[in-house]
Amino acid sequence: MESIGVLMLCPMSAYLEQELQSRFNLFKLWTVPQKPQFLKEHASSIRAVVGNAAAGADAELISALPKLEIVSSYSVGVDKIDLDKCREKGIRVTYTPDVLTEDVADLAIGLILAVLRRLCASDRYVRSGAWKKGDFRLTTKFTGKTVGIIGLGRIGMAVAKRAEAFNCPISYYSRRAKPDIQYTYYPSVVELASNCDILVVACPLNEETWHIINRGVIDALGPKGVLINIGRGPHVDEPELVSALVEGRLGGAGLDVYEKEPEIPEELFGLENVVLLPHVGSGTVETRTAMADLVIGNLEAHFLNKPLLTPLV
Amino acid sequence: MSARENVNIPSGNEEEADHRPLVLVHRLPRFVLPFDMRTTFRLLDPISSAADEPPQDFLSRHAPSIRALITVGPAPVNADLLDLLPSVRLVVGSSAGVDHIDLNECRRRGIAVTNAGSAFSEDVADYAVALLLDVFRRISAADRFVRSGSWPRKPEYPLGFKLGGKRVGIVGLGSIGSEVAKRLVAFGCRIAYNSRNKKPSAPYTYHANVCDLAVNSDVIVVCCALTKETHHIINKDVMTGLGKGGVIINVGRGALIDEKELVQYLTRGEIGGAGLDLFEKEPDVPKELFTLDNVVLSPHRAGLTTESFEAVREVITANLNAFFSNKPLLSPVQYE
């Protein structure tokens, strides 16, 4: 398989790079000085693309790679891939569901606790020496608060299961109510937001869910409400979110994703009721290894004419 | 009987008698009683009431009528204090721990002691999980990284560790420890514990000593009471047993851990990380810890939320009301 050209779109994992390099003819797009030149020279040998949450095979790239057979994403979110175009051209698409579900759900709860209990602010308080001059203030209890989840897929359900262990009543919004689920369903995000203390975004990003957290939802969540985003940056109307936080119209936010990563609105840096993470939802040694193994496993299966491990298209 | 007997009708100008029971507030200057209880009780506070009078004299003067006292924060209740207050029959603790109260002295003198019951338990358990998630997933370190503006320059941030499947050893399976266990089960952790006595109803593996627990754990969560026996229960043998990848979370008391050793183990990389809400000499924190990203530091806040404060105010009020009306106390400390 060493002659098979695989194009990796951006740095994502040294382990994955090594493994791909040892099996295939690996091209690293970010090391290429002139993209058009590179594509002219090598396009005809590239049969696979490896992308992630930050970069995917869009229509332009797919058109430039006539021999493309498979897109293997190092992520569960596939909003950066032109899925319709892949279907049209018979290009397979694989992703990394399940292996990262627990870590993302763990992080959602970690963010809730960090915001409500002011963990990062407290840690700063100690490190700055401020504790010597006085105690930090009281914070807000998590146990028993109502958690509203947008999207009750694998990750949403895992968040619910964890929140239940803290005696949190669970409610949710999704396109349709789920028949065997005991949680309270709301047919709109605004109604969900009006009736929960903590709102968690856990749905896929697509045309319908773009800016699903808008001014109306933020107002409904209110000055005591907390927003947790473990989905995609574009789920949230970011300028609206920032002004709501700065003006105190929203109680707090725990964010792992942003509209224009790695850029983050600087107004958020001064806020104590906000926790900011650099897109680390699946960022554990164990899970990233499992994700890389899935990418490799899917590519090998494809080129050996075996069934794909985790196909989406 | 005649309907014309003289009846003594009080005139409207008489002052109403103050029927509020008297309670002494015993605190260190740094601390204040955080709730207003004056509608129900007449509070005596030697620090704020008597600016010029030495506290000892103030206490001696009022001693005969002081039957109950509330402790705020870690103000010690010991033989010296009790000698000044021979009428005291009730000590009301307002914190989760009672290690600042000499229980033997109280028992010897026939003084009942009440604690905060489970008013703080859920919040402390929440916080233990919070610290654990923070250490494993580097939440505070990553937030620092982002706020320093470093993300655009260093796109790959160091990875954390998966919590699911990890073995968590809980030291002390009381009301706090059992709430911690219940929460961590939902994250896929495997729970074991050490306690003075095995708890037959607990569905977790029991280890008779803390070293055994540590050897078989990836994480140790310390949530037991501080007593003579548990002082420095987390010592270097336990830390060695826990090993290089191991994480320690402390929501009990600072003195449960040999802090000097802990700092050594952390700075030498001989354990994996720590989440610490308490220290041996608060508010002093060993500054060697300030440069470590695998350590999360917290200023003794695990139990303290607006909700738990409301709950503890209710417990304190209920205990005092019960005492002053000769009814059973709500949350008496059981002497062993």
List pLDDT tens digits, range B277-304: 999 999 999 999 999 999 999 999 999 9
pLDDT per residue as tens digits for the range B10-38:
555 545 678 899 999 999 988 888 888 88
Candidates 3.40.50.720, 3.40.50.261, 3.40.50.300, 3.90.550.10; CATH matching A101-276: 3.40.50.720
| Dihedral, A232, A235, A237, A238 alpha carbons, nearest 10 | -20
Say how far apart CA A116 and CA A113 lie, in whole Å: 5
Q: Could you tell me which chain A residue has the CA closest to the CA of B119?
A: A141
Query: The whole model's pTM is what?
Result: 0.94
Measure in Å the smallest separation between the Cα of B244 and chain A Cα atoms: 16
**Residue whose pair of structure tokens reads 């987390």 in the numeric block:** B234
Which value, in Å, is the radius of gyration of the alpha carbons in chain A? 21
Distance from CA of B18 to the nearest CA of A (A): 33
Among candidate residues B26, B138, B207, B300, the one labeled active-site is B300
Residue B93, SS3 per DSSP = strand
* Residue B7 in this model has a pLDDT that exceeds 70: no
* Residue B1 pLDDT > 80: no
Query: Within an 8 Å CB–CB cutoff, is residue B83 touching chain A?
Result: no
For residue B106, the tally of other CB atoms under 10 A from its CB is 23
* DSSP for residue B300: S
Q: Which of residues 273-302 of A touch B (CB under 8 A)?
A: 275-278, 280, 283-288
Report pLDDT for A139: 97
Min Cα separation A104/chain B (Å): 10
Type of residue at B128: A
Count CB atoms within 10 A of the CB of residue B201: 5
Give the span between the Cα atoms of A23 and A19, in whole angstroms: 7
* A120–B contact, CB cutoff 8 A: yes
Look at residue B39 in the predicted model and tell me its pLDDT: 86
Specify the pLDDT at position B15. Answer: 53
In CATH terms, the superfamily for domain A5-97+286-303 is NAD(P)-binding Rossmann-like Domain (3.40.50.720)
Q: Give pLDDT tens digits for B171-192.
A: 999 999 999 999 999 999 999 9
Closest residue in chain A to residue B153, using alpha carbons only: A262
Pick from B26, B31, B35, B88: nearest CA to B56? B26
Stretch (H or E) spanning A292: helix A285-303
Check A141 against B307: CB less than 8 A apart.
Answer: yes
Residue intervals in chain A for CATH 3.40.50.720: 5-97+286-303, 101-276
- Across the interface, whether the CB atoms of B143 and A110 are under 8 A apart is answered no
Residue B156 identity (one-letter amino acid): E
DSSP 8-state secondary structure symbol assigned to residue B236: H
pLDDT digits (tens, 9 = 90+) for B238-251: 999 999 999 999 99
Give the model's pLDDT for residue A291: 97
Contact A235, A212 (CB under 8 A): yes
Give the model's confidence band at B199: pLDDT under 50 very low, under 70 low, under 90 confident, else very high.
Answer: very high
- Measured N-to-C along each axis, helices B139-147 and A101-116 cross at an angle, to the nearest 10 degrees, of 70
CB contact under 8 A, B142 and A280: yes
* A4, A106, A244, A251, A300 from A225: Cα distances, Å: 51, 20, 11, 5, 47
- Active site includes B300? yes
pLDDT band at B47, cuts 50/70/90? confident
- pLDDT score of B19: 83
| pLDDT score of B4 | 45
Q: Which of B282, B288, B307, B310 is catalytic?
A: B282
Q: Which long-range contacts (CB under 8 A, 24 or more apart) does B116-120 make?
A: B116/B312, B116/B315, B116/B316, B116/B331, B117/B315, B117/B330, B117/B331, B118/B175, B119/B308, B119/B311, B119/B312, B119/B314, B119/B315, B120/B95, B120/B96, B120/B176, B120/B302, B120/B303, B120/B304, B120/B308, B120/B311, B120/B312
Whether A164 has its CB under 8 Å from any CB of chain B: the answer is yes
Task: Give the chain A residue whose CA is nearest to the CA of B276.
Answer: A123
- B245 close to A (CB below 8 A): no
pLDDT of residue B52: 78
Across the interface, whether the CB atoms of A269 and B147 are under 8 A apart is answered yes
DSSP H or E run through B308: helix B306-324
CB pairs under 8 A between A and B: 167
Q: Look at residue B9 in the predicted model and tell me its pLDDT.
A: 53
Task: HSE, CB side, 13 Å, CA atoms: give it for residue A251.
Answer: 21
- With contact defined as beta carbons under 8 Å apart, do A122 and B298 qualify? yes
CB contact under 8 A, A284 and B186: no
Could you give the ipTM of this predicted complex?
A: 0.96
Q: What is the DSSP string of A39-72?
A: HHHHGGGEEEEEEESS----HHHHHH-TT--EEE
Query: Is B282 annotated in the active site?
Result: yes
Q: What are the catalytic residues of A?
A: 232, 261, 279
Kindly compute the dihedral angle of the four CA atoms of residues B187, B188, B193, B197, in this order, to the nearest 10 degrees. Answer: 90
The model's pLDDT over A141-199, given as tens digits with 9 standing for 90+, comes to: 999 999 999 999 999 999 999 999 999 999 999 999 999 999 999 999 999 999 999 99
Within 8 A by CB and 6+ apart from A223, the residues are A248, A249, A250, A251
Number of Cβ within 10 Å of residue B10's Cβ equals 7
% of chain A at pLDDT higher than 90: 99
Q: Is the separation of the CB atoms in A97 and A309 below 8 Å?
A: no
Is residue B117 within 8 A of residue B331, CB to CB? The reply is: yes
The rounded distance, in Å, linking the Cα atoms of B257 and B281 is 12
CB of A140 within 8 Å of a chain B CB? The answer is yes
